[in-house]
Amino acid sequence: MKTFLLKSSLWLPTPRAELFPFFADPGNLQRLTPPWLHFKILKSSTPEIRQGTVIDYRLRVHGLPLRWRSEISAWEPPFRFVDEQRRGPYRRWIHQHLFTERDGGTQVDDLVEYAVLGGALVNRLLVRRDLDSIFAYRCRMLQEIFAPGPEGLGAHLD
């Protein structure tokens, strides 16, 4: 199975101790997801995210309705957490969220290891472009929420 890696980095002028709790609330995931995905949390096994939390979602990708289930496989506040797809459109999805104090704020890094049906061709033609758009939106929303001025600039995708 061919796997791919997406990296997204963003510096925010917010202390890690203030930023991490935002990610512990499953409701904030909807705020960080582009409206064109019609994302909705169906249920969460716990009111706050923690090790073992299972979250069920519904979304649309290119008009196709999808269900997604993820589990929090690592929870190490305020440093990192990992969500893994248990059911959904990917053959593999492991998303690490990393929070590092730097320059009076927090470096937020997302590392996603994923695999898709159809391999490199499907990834190149469809999936990677979508993921880049989704993570660019996520960075813009985090900047609006935590760094509305020019000091929040500095996001990039790899």
pTM metric for this prediction: 0.91
Q: Supply the pLDDT for residue 156.
A: 56
Of residues 68 and 156, the one with the higher pLDDT is 68
> Left if phi > 0, otherwise alpha if psi is -120 to 50, otherwise beta: which for 155?
beta
Q: Name 114's bridge partners.
A: 4, 93
- 149 pLDDT above the threshold of 90: no
Query: What tens digit of pLDDT does each residue of 12-60 get?
Result: 999 999 999 999 888 899 899 999 999 999 999 998 899 999 999 999 9
Q: Supply the pLDDT for residue 48.
A: 86
Contact between 16 and 99 under an 8 Å Cβ cutoff? The reply is yes
HSE, CB side, 13 Å, CA atoms: give it for residue 77: 14
pLDDT confidence tier of residue 1, bands split at 50, 70 and 90: confident
Q: Supply the pLDDT for residue 152.
A: 45
Q: What distance in Å separates the CA atoms of residue 98 and residue 106, rounded to the nearest whole number?
A: 10
Domains and CATH numbers, the chain: 4-157 (3.30.530.20)
Q: Supply the pLDDT for residue 142.
A: 96
- Tell me whether strands 80-87 and 92-102 are parallel, antiparallel or unpaired: antiparallel
State the sign of the Cα–Cα–Cα–Cα dihedral 75, 81, 87, 93. Answer: negative
Contact between 33 and 131 under an 8 Å Cβ cutoff? The reply is no
Q: Supply the pLDDT for residue 150.
A: 58
Tell me the average pLDDT across 130-145.
96
Q: Supply the pLDDT for residue 148.
A: 76
Query: What tens digit of pLDDT does each residue of 65-110 get?
Result: 999 999 999 999 999 999 999 999 999 999 999 999 999 999 999 9
